[in-house]
Amino acid sequence: MFDRLTAQPADKILALMQMFKEDPRPTKIDLGVGVYKNAEGVTPIMQAVKTAEKQLWEQETTKSYVGLVGDPGFSDAMIDLILGDAVPRNIVAAAATPGGTGAVRQAFEMIRMANPEARIFVSDPTWPNHLSILKYMGMEVVSYRYFDSETRGVDFTGMMDDLGALRSGDVVLLHGCCHNPTGANLNLVEWQSVIDLMQKKGAVPMIDIAYQGFGDGLEEDAAATRLVAASMPECLIAASCSKNFGIYRERTGLLMAVSQEASQHGLNQGTLAFLNRQNYSFPPDHGARLVTMVLQDPSLRADWASELEEVRLSMLGLRQHLADELQQRTGSDRFAFLAQHRGMFSRLGTTPDLVEKLRAEHAIYMVGDSRMNIAGLNATTVPILAQAIVEAGV
């Protein structure tokens, strides 16, 4: 049987990580892996999470299963964080998942159950795992223009033209904030135009929100998702706690199904429980428990929000520093977009050949499509990167 298996394509980011690890050059800079790092190159454990973990260790009395959809307290805390009072709680079904990726996969599963003919409209570019999962599941993908390689901003005209092909029942996959991999975001006026079009076409939005708090702030980063949830008859929201709580390895995520028809809630909730049972039965609880404790304790929540704000401001500072260094070296504002992008990532909008030149000649590691992780920089490496970009002719 196993001899019938075929080799799968290597994950490009994992391969890049291995190349970086094996590179002996002391000046090498890793901008490839999508994980937050501080100035020392470490992904730290947030102090509020540490405190909650200590409390949990002292208070926890069992390691028995939680429910199929996880602890209701986790769902409540996350729904409040992401949706606030945008919609009534009783119209939101929710299930804990193994990370944001688990939430994305379960969302696709729910879409396929509800409408096997649904086409998934996906931004070009998007997080590669979106496309990988959809391909594996055999779901039809339609790409819509998103990133303008000239302006390094959103190609909104192209996006709206492509979404004009939507049919009733199709799904539009949208990034709630801090678009991965480009860092370029829609403004709220543009979001409203997308909502109006989806309403007209009878399409269903699916939002992947993995970086709340990394862009313009916790409330600001949730604004678009709240607008969509409040405006559309139905929507799906896949959320991750990996980044804003720094608990990558705990695999903590949540899938929400919002329906303005309150009578639909029970069926949606039952479907989420069924899907969890089929895929992994009970979701992991440790990370979800920590998130719940942090969000429900006013002191821990304040500490967490303060530390998250430091992370956000640090990345904004690195963005501005890099844009300034490039402006000084080129005498041009063509890299000003770096300061305007939000989140961990920016896309330089250059060619794979020049990305390879940066790696080969300057030990700068980034994904071939020129996505770079801003959090992989620090005050010392920003000028090095800026000079490399200039010398490589990016």
**Mean pLDDT value of segment 341-368:** 94
What's the rounded Cα separation, in Å, for the pair 373 and 376? 6
Catalytic residue flag (residue 191): no
Q: Is a pLDDT exceeding 90 seen at residue 64?
A: yes
Name the strand (E) or helix (H) holding 32: none
Which residue carries 């005498």 as its tokens? 331
Beta strand spans in the chain (E):
29-30, 92-98, 120-124, 141-145, 147-148, 153-154, 171-175, 204-209, 234-240, 252-259, 345-347, 364-365, 371-373
**Mean pLDDT value of segment 89-116:** 98
Q: Is a pLDDT exceeding 90 seen at residue 9?
A: no
Find the angle CA(185)-CA(351)-CA(123) to the nearest 5 degrees: 30
Residues 122 and 173: beta-carbon distance below 8 Å: yes
Residues 173 and 368: beta-carbon distance below 8 Å: no
| Bridge partners, 207 (sequence order) | 174, 237
Q: Is the dihedral of CA 38, 304, 97, 249 positive or negative?
A: positive
Determine the pLDDT at residue 293.
98
Catalytic residue flag (residue 243): yes
User: Annotated catalytic residue: which of 210, 257, 288, 323?
Assistant: 210
Closest by CA position to 105, among listed 67, 135, 70 = 135
User: Annotated catalytic residue: which of 77, 93, 127, 224?
Assistant: 127
Catalytic residue flag (residue 208): yes
Name the pTM for this structure.
0.96
Among 30-44, 58-72, 109-123, 125-139, where is mean pLDDT lowest? 30-44
What's the rounded Cα separation, in Å, for the pair 87 and 360? 51
Domains and CATH numbers, the chain: 11-45+305-392 (3.90.1150.10), 65-296 (3.40.640.10)
**Mean pLDDT value of segment 158-172:** 98
Closest by CA position to 291, among listed 61, 58, 80, 35 = 80
What's the rounded Cα separation, in Å, for the pair 236 and 94? 10
Determine the pLDDT at residue 349.
87
What's the rounded Cα separation, in Å, for the pair 131 and 137? 10
Rounded to whole angstroms, the maximal C-alpha distance in the chain is: 63
Beta strand spans in 199-315 (E):
204-209, 234-240, 252-259
205-259 pLDDT, tens digit each:
999 999 999 999 999 999 999 999 999 999 999 999 999 999 999 999 999 999 9
Q: Is a pLDDT exceeding 90 seen at residue 327?
A: yes
User: Annotated catalytic residue: which of 243, 288, 339, 392?
Assistant: 243
Mean pLDDT for the chain? 96
| Bridge partners, 238 (sequence order) | 208, 255
Catalytic residue flag (residue 54): no
Determine the pLDDT at residue 94.
98
Higher pLDDT pick, 40 / 226: 226
Determine the pLDDT at residue 262.
92
Closest by CA position to 206, among listed 218, 198, 216, 197 = 198
Higher pLDDT pick, 242 / 10: 242
Determine the pLDDT at residue 308.
98
320, with CB counted inside 10 A (0-12, 13-18, 19+), is middle
Determine the pLDDT at residue 15.
85
User: Annotated catalytic residue: which of 208, 221, 285, 369?
Assistant: 208
173, with CB counted inside 10 A (0-12, 13-18, 19+), is buried
**pLDDT grade for 394, boundaries at 50, 70 and 90:** confident
